[in-house]
Amino acid sequence: MAKGLGEDNQRSFQALYTANQIVNICDPAQPETFLMAQDLASKFFGQRGGESQHTIHAMGHCHIDSAWLWPFKETVRKCARSWVTAVQLMERNPEFIFVCSQAQQLEWVKNQYPGLYSRLQEFACRGQFVPVGGTWVEMDGNLPSGEAMVRQFLQGQNFFLQEFGKMCSEFWLPDSFGYSAQLPQIMRSCGIRHFLTQKLSWNLVNSFPHHTFFWEGLDGSCVLAHFPPGDSYGMEGSVEEVLKTVAKNRDKGRTNHSAFLFGFGDGGGGPTQTMVDRLKRLYNTDGLPRVQLSSPEQLFSALESDSGQLCTWVGELFLELHNGTYTTHAQIKKGNRECERILHDVELLSSLALVRSAQFLYPAAQLQDLWRLLLLNQFHDVVTGSCIQLVAEEAMCHYEDIRFHGNTLLNAAAAALCAGEPGPEGLLIVNTLPWKRTEVLALPRPGGTHSLGLIPSPGDSAQHGLCSCSCPNLTAAPASPAACVCCARGECWHFQVGQSCPGTSLMTWGFSASQSGASGEGGLGSGEAIGCGKALLASRPPSAKTDGSVTLDNGIIRVRLDPTGRLTSLVLVASNREAIAEGAIGNQFVLFDDVPLYWDAWDVMDYHLETRKPVLGQAGTLAVGTEGGMRGSAWFLLQISPNSRLSQEVVLDVGCPYVRFHTEVHWHEDHKFLKVEFPARVRSSQATYEVQFGHLQRPTHQNTSWDWARFEVWAHRWMDLSEHGFGLALLNDCKYGASVRGSVLSLSLLRAPKAPDATADMGRHEFTYALMPHKGSFQDAGVIQAAYSLNFPLLALPTPGQVPMATWSAFSVSSPAVVLETVKQAESTPQGHTLVLRLYEAHGSHIDCWLHTSLPVQEAVLCDLLERRDPAGHLPFRDARLKLTFSPFQVQSLLVVLQAPLN
């Protein structure tokens, strides 16, 4: 106290003289002097402070990373050792309260240390052991999808309710690397009103202006947020830390309460008796803030009671550090995106099979196991790639398990959907997205080869479901295919090879690929649409030219590649609008030196941008791949460095509004960063990035320190740069790091950090990104739908028996602004026929829409994200449709009770 309070404080000198007296009286050789010294100390600490003292709420805490510099199995032992210590402290100190997050860790201890777990439940009943957080693990706050974030809370809150009798009211995420703007809405709909973290104290550039504030999310939802002003989740109970908690508080005058989390963390350990004793002495001592052993409920109740002067922060909580975690360990990122898709598709098909087949059992237990594996991998040091090699290898094994078992469940659902159908054997073509699609699909042939088939969507409305192809061995010549396969989500029918789709004519293909720099005549004319009932023009054969360039043209966009594979022109044909900046080159790979100041796997510093080196290709490496028909492509090789190389196929399909770049990289570098750039002929001070259940804008300039601190940001499936009337979108299938500086869109591809995993990202990688020029806004142009389509390809599932002959439409949504994200069985009815539908408003608009369904609906009611009924949420179901009203970026969930199918 003498040291911390300083020479200008009267209480500081009192502390100094008391300490001096204690030293004078206390003789180590005479134990009887200890009591005299203790009396002096007690007298000093017994002098009380005033009523205006700041109150510190001290909570025992033990942050344990579920995996990081140790594997998952070691975490189980860390939990056991740390929590045994906490139990002993709770036994000796009835006023001591220990908070504990992460349902996954509690389940591990339940399974492997049942005696310890029973003791934790006992102390939970006494109010000393307090589960917090509400999630399965302390996940990353940026990279998981919106649905995955919902499942973190769904699994976590249900676990806490089942095992401890109550759900959590606070979201506890002290160590994640940023926080999505959609988290407040997700929290509120999962029964959580409060949020605690401290990670933004790590900002490298700007100090976050608050410690206690209201956090307003993308849709306007608000939660009360608190950052412990001591800027740590591992305090030790020292006077210096207590004084720092008051001195650093940026909301002095607005609130008079703060959290103080004490206990060794990261690798476990937790509080000690010494820490508890220190804090007890400081309970109410003149010159210091009042310290009380407290709980999260007491803390937030005190904050809420005095919240009238608190400020509000709107939007994401962006951490100005650890930007490299958006890219490190690309294979983990790819596994995460793929497994999110697989589980989405399994739930959809299983839900439809539940409706169609009385014998089908929804695989609820298997899906829960697979979801929990995925949620475990979304821990904030795993999906981010900031872990050791052993953990990364375990994570990849988890993804393989999800892929294998997920595909098994997909095939089982497909078989149930086709059971008892009268048609011949073939393929079940499934569109798992809620809008019609016309796409080129690779269909299997004998011997493991594939043929291209065009899958057009009939009908005028966006639809959701199935169709069939009677013969998996389709052939497709460039000008005249042997068969047409038609598909729309929710529709199902059959036709023979050589027959046309119901209500359509036999089609030829509208596409041209020319290796001559020509304009690509023979493609679709300007403004012509691809769809059923219209014959498309055949492409003309490519003609060669000495300059080695290649032009791809499908009548919607025209792409010109120079002899090294770089993009020299991208034209929106209908308006003849060029998307690439004048005199600039797109699809330019660039290499940066990547040597961060602090932590290799976590950080990329702004000064890496000063080391930009374009990777130059060799003329003559570009060649035509697929020569027209349904698909045109060109491919090239690129030597990135003496140790790393890249091959890429640039693909343009008939009817597709974007050009795809299928990329394979053999990467063997040391502290390098690979990106790809697209300079756009677009001017805007804001770029738009997809986040969970929506999108947000970030600046393209560096006006302020808050702007330039966002030199590397995160996005999900797309980002877009638009001016009035025109824009350019960059889509991807497994990347998260991105930036738009000025008019240059940049996608981060690969890093090469050497700690804590020296092998991170080394080896072979495959990924796809796509470029989509568009007229008007990205909302009206369908960028959101295009990015979904890139990430959720049509499924062609072989069936063991017959495929359906009759069409069947399951769902459709009347507005493109509303996305039907999830169809699953309700958690409360594992053997029942109640589905959960999750929809969100994706454009940022107020809108009324109709959800059409052909399912036998008995009842429909709104529910929260934990699938609890809204007492006032009954929805009238008339004429096979429900009316829904959305505000911008609102997420809504529905419980739909169905009639059981007949045997």
Residues taking part in catalysis: 175
If DSSP codes are grouped into helix, strand and coil, which group holds residue 703? coil
R_g (Cα) of the chain, nearest Å:
30
How many CB atoms are located within 10 Å of the residue 166 CB?
12
- DSSP for 283-328 reads TT-TTS-EEEE--HHHHHHHHHHT-TT--EEES-B--SS-GGGGTS
Q: Quick one: angle between helices 364-377 and 146-164, nearest 10?
A: 110
> Of the candidates 865, 836, 860, 858, which has an alpha carbon nearest to the alpha carbon of residue 850?
860
Contact 188, 408 (CB under 8 A): no
Non-local CB neighbours of 5 within 8 Å, separated by 6+ positions: 11, 12, 15, 243, 287
**C-alpha 657, offset from chain centre:** 25
> Would residue 106 be called left, alpha or beta, if left means φ above 0 and alpha means ψ between -120 and 50 degrees?
alpha
Instruction: State the pairing for strand pair 222-226/194-196.
Output: parallel
Residue 430 CA to residue 794 CA, distance in Å, equals 6
Contact 539, 479 (CB under 8 A): yes
Please identify which residue in the block is written with the tokens 């199935």. Answer: 466
How many CB atoms are located within 10 Å of the residue 724 CB?
8
Vertex 286 angle, CA 282 and 287, to 5°: 95
The pair of structure tokens assigned to 231 is: 């800027």
Residue 771 CA to residue 777 CA, distance in Å, equals 15
Cα–Cα distances in angstroms (integers) from residue 623 to residues 243, 310, 664, 769, in the given order: 69, 62, 16, 20
Tell me the backbone φ, ψ of residue 751, rounded to 5 degrees. Answer: -120, 175
Contact 201, 208 (CB under 8 A): yes
Question: Strands, E, within 754-829: which ranges?
Answer: 763-775, 795-802, 809-813, 818-825
If DSSP codes are grouped into helix, strand and coil, which group holds residue 83? helix
Non-local CB neighbours of 312 within 8 Å, separated by 6+ positions: 213, 214, 215, 216, 222
Residue 182 CA to residue 196 CA, distance in Å, equals 16
- Helix then strand count (H, E) for the chain reads 17, 43
Residue 472 CA to residue 101 CA, distance in Å, equals 50
